[in-house]
Amino acid sequence: MHPSLEVRDTGRYGLGVFAKATIAKGTTLFVCGGPILTLADEDNLPPECADKPIEISEWFSMGPRAAEEIPLMPQHYVNHSCDPNAGWHGQLFMVAMRDIREGEEICFDYAMVMHSNRNSATYWTMPCHCRSPLCRRHVAENDWRRPELQSRYDGWFAWHLQRKIDQATEKSHATRFGEGVMPPHGRRSGFDWMDARVTSGTSPNSGRGCFATEPIPAGATVFALGGRVMEIAKEAGDLGVQISEEYILGSLPDEQSGADFVNHSCEPNLGFLGQVFLITLRDVVPGEELCFDYAMCLGGDIAYSMQCRCGSPNCRGTITQLDWQDQVLQTKYAGHIQWYLENIVQRNISHHNLAVSP
């Protein structure tokens, strides 16, 4: 949570988040972490947690599993408004849509994240009393489909909805891997969710690793990554996945989550979808180790170097935080690198095209 924010009573509807000072447009207000929740998890939450999950896809959300976890995730105190001052970048970043005045409550429109699912036991609706001239009076899971909201919030929807909208309007050229298909049976593992066809075991090159126990087809979501948000410099035990130039999402050394044992390979069979999903890039056979290339997420200014023993014919020997800049790797992994790196790559391509245009 940004240091200029505080949680306090709204005087009308419980707790909310307020600005203690003026906050400029574009400022990151929250970098959101927490446990991954499935539809079944959401349907069985204790009452005090039932309205707290924030959706990160049609099938998964992040949120507290027990009342004592709520204060650890203050993003869940942010309330709805039909005229919001906050929106989403990616799956995890809540950002100021405009300049925010001191004392103003931070709100986003729930239409920016909510998506109905016929496999859920519930369909969520809420009467709205935000008092905005734009108030819809009634908020529902499918409000994101409203054309006027798609126009008003273009670029501010959470990743899973913005992606659907962009693909429907042919604005996105991203791969369709991992979309629209119900994930197979899986299990919660620490902060993460992992496919039931995955287990951990001894890796021939890297101590522990994750392996397929059954055939897994290309495009399958095998991990949904949860965790604590930590500054890169404070990462402990090399257990995190980098989600921006400043932050990682991961576990502490005394915690264990399913994806903690996923190792690097210079010829990977996994890649990223958005910020928190690892999907198969090709068909995987039983017994095969599941790996991604660390170039898919490592970036920023903090030096990183690791000797690689993956044994691939394409092995780079040494892995660094600069590998993502290799244009061969950018082409090879297009659509499957971390969201923040994908944005940098696309900006660089746009700037290059502008520079060479007649």
Residues 260 and 315 grouped into a single domain: yes
Phi, psi of 314 (to 5 degrees): -95, 15
Return the pLDDT at 115: 84
Indicate if 202 and 283 belong to the same structural domain. Answer: yes
Model confidence pLDDT, tens digit, residues 66-99: 999 999 899 999 999 999 999 999 999 999 999 9
Q: Is the CB of residue 251 less than 8 Å from the CB of residue 326? A: no
CATH number of the domain bearing residue 111: 2.170.270.10
- pLDDT, position 176: 42
H-helix or E-strand containing 62? strand 60-62
pLDDT (mean) for 322-331: 94
Torsion of CA 112, 116, 120, 125, to 10 degrees: 80
**Token pair of 248 as six digits:** 């990682």
Question: What's the average model confidence in pLDDT over 253-266?
Answer: 86
* Whether residue 158 is found in the same domain as residue 237: no
160 and 197 share a domain? no
Residue 178 domain-assigned (yes or no): no
- CA separation (Å) from 227 to 38, 74, 92, 203? 15, 15, 11, 24
| Domain identity same for 124 and 201 | no
Give 239-253 pLDDT, tens digit per residue. 789 999 899 998 877
Q: Give the residue, 221 or 348, on which the prediction is more confident.
A: 221
Instruction: Over range 276-289, report the average pLDDT.
Output: 96
> Where does residue 292 fall: left (phi above 0), alpha (psi -120 to 50 degrees), or beta otherwise?
beta
**Which among 229, 235, 224, 277 has a CA at the least distance from the CA of 249?**
229
Based on the domain organization, do 193 and 141 belong to the same domain? no
Residues 251, 312, single domain; the answer is: yes
List, for residues 19-51, the tens digit of each pLDDT value: 999 999 999 999 999 999 998 898 889 999 988
Query: Within this chain, do residues 22 and 164 fall inside the same structural domain, yes or no?
Result: yes
DSSP string computed for 263-325: EE-SS-SEEEETTTEEEESS-B-TTPEEEE-GGGT--SSS--EEE-----TT--SEEETTGGG
- Please tell me which residue, 233 or 64, carries the higher pLDDT value: 64
Establish if 112 belongs to a structural domain.
yes
Does residue 155 sit in the same domain as residue 12? yes
State the virtual CA torsion across 165, 155, 33, 247 in degrees, nearest 10: 130
Range of the structural domain that residue 341 is part of = 186-347
Please state the domain count of the chain: 2
- As a whole number of angstroms, the distance between CA 268 and CA 328 comes to 15
The reply to whether 176 falls in a domain is no
**Banded model confidence at residue 319, pLDDT cuts 50, 70, 90:** very high
Residue 127: φ, ψ to 5°: -70, 140
The more confident residue out of 32 and 177 is 32
Round to the nearest angstrom and report the end-to-end CA distance of the chain: 45
Q: In this structure, are 197 and 253 located in the same domain?
A: yes
| Alpha-carbon span 297 to 148, nearest angstrom | 35
Check whether residue 192 and residue 164 sit in a common domain. no
Beta bridge partners of 270: 280
Q: Do 329 and 323 form a contact (C-beta atoms < 8 A)?
A: yes
Same domain, 201 and 157: no
Q: For 170-182, what is the mean pLDDT?
A: 49
21 or 200: which carries more pLDDT confidence?
A: 21
Rounded to 5, what percent of the chain is helix, strand, coil? 20, 30, 50
For residue 77, count other CB atoms closer than 10 A to its CB: 21
CA–CA distance, 272 with 278 (Å, rounded to integer): 5
